[in-house]
């Protein structure tokens, strides 16, 4: 499949001793505003997704996927430890095709709607059902048995919470899935990689990462 526009994945290594970084990691809405600040006066054109990534080397990164490259100079030098690492995802996306197996990692808001409310799914079996249903719509299948080279694994990271307005506090209990997906429809999967999966994307959820293809070895 050929995708017409560039899509950049930019990786910032965060300085965990920075008070601003600490506040942003504790308040998802503040982190959203900080990510938006990377795009100057045109944030509506970026269609960005972002998430926090904990590298194998013990560092903490902010991953930002966007059509327009972010401007790292919008942040203080004290907030970022090293120069940003950036790659264009389009060459990879252009080569995604049916039958491929890709390792994935996603942190998402997984819920079902009941009586007008979103109810988080906390059982792994329910989360797996949710992910498989999403896969049917987005061109991929997920292996959840022990025979897979990368069996599906769930865990629950810290809640994503933030202040929205002066009195409304938003709290989302996300779920993290790692494993292997098989491509059924390349175009549908690329569309999903582009837009993310699930709800609460402004809180840093929904970005699907393909670590072996997206990230340098020291970050996998």
pLDDT computed for residue 45 by the predictor: 58
Structure pTM? 0.90
Domains, in order of start, for the chain: 8-92 (3.30.70.1200), 96-219 (3.30.70.1210)
Please give the biggest Cα pair distance in the chain.
50
pLDDT < 70 regions, the chain: 1-4, 41-46, 145-147, 162-169
pLDDT computed for residue 163 by the predictor: 62
Roughly what angle, to the nearest 10 degrees, separates helices 186-195 and 124-138?
120
pLDDT computed for residue 166 by the predictor: 57
pLDDT computed for residue 165 by the predictor: 56
Contacts of 48 (CB under 8 A, 6+ apart): 35, 36, 39, 64, 65, 66, 67, 70
Give the C-alpha separation, 73 to 1, whole Å: 34
Q: Are 28 and 170 in contact (CB under 8 A)?
A: yes
Burial of 139 (0-12, 13-18, 19+ CB in 10 A): buried
Neighbours of 138 (CB within 10 A): 19
H-type alpha helices, the chain: 19-26, 28-36, 90-94, 124-138, 186-195, 211-214
Q: Are 61 and 220 in contact (CB under 8 A)?
A: no
């Amino acid at each position: 499949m050929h995708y017409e526009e560039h899509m950049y994945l930019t990786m910032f290594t965060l300085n965990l001793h920075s008070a601003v970084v600490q506040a942003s990691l504790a308040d998802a809405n503040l982190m959203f505003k900080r990510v938006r600040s990377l795009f100057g006066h045109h944030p509506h054109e970026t269609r960005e997704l972002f998430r926090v990534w904990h590298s194998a080397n013990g560092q903490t990164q902010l991953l930002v996927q966007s059509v327009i490259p972010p401007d790292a100079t919008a942040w203080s030098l004290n907030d970022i430890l090293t120069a940003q690492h950036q790659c264009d995802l389009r060459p990879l996306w252009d080569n995604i095709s049916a039958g491929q197996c890709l390792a994935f990692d996603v942190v998402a808001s997984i819920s079902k709607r009941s009586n007008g409310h979103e109810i988080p799914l906390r059982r792994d079996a329910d989360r797996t059902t949710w992910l498989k249903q999403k896969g049917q719509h987005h061109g991929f299948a997920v292996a959840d048995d022990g025979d897979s080279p990368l069996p599906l694994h769930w865990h629950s990271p810290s809640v994503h919470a933030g202040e929205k307005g002066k009195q409304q506090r938003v709290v989302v209990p996300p779920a993290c899935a790692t494993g292997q997906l098989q491509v059924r429809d390349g175009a549908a999967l690329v569309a999903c990689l582009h837009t993310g999966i699930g709800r609460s994307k402004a809180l840093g959820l929904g970005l699907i990462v393909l670590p072996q293809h997206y990230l340098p070895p020291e970050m996998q």
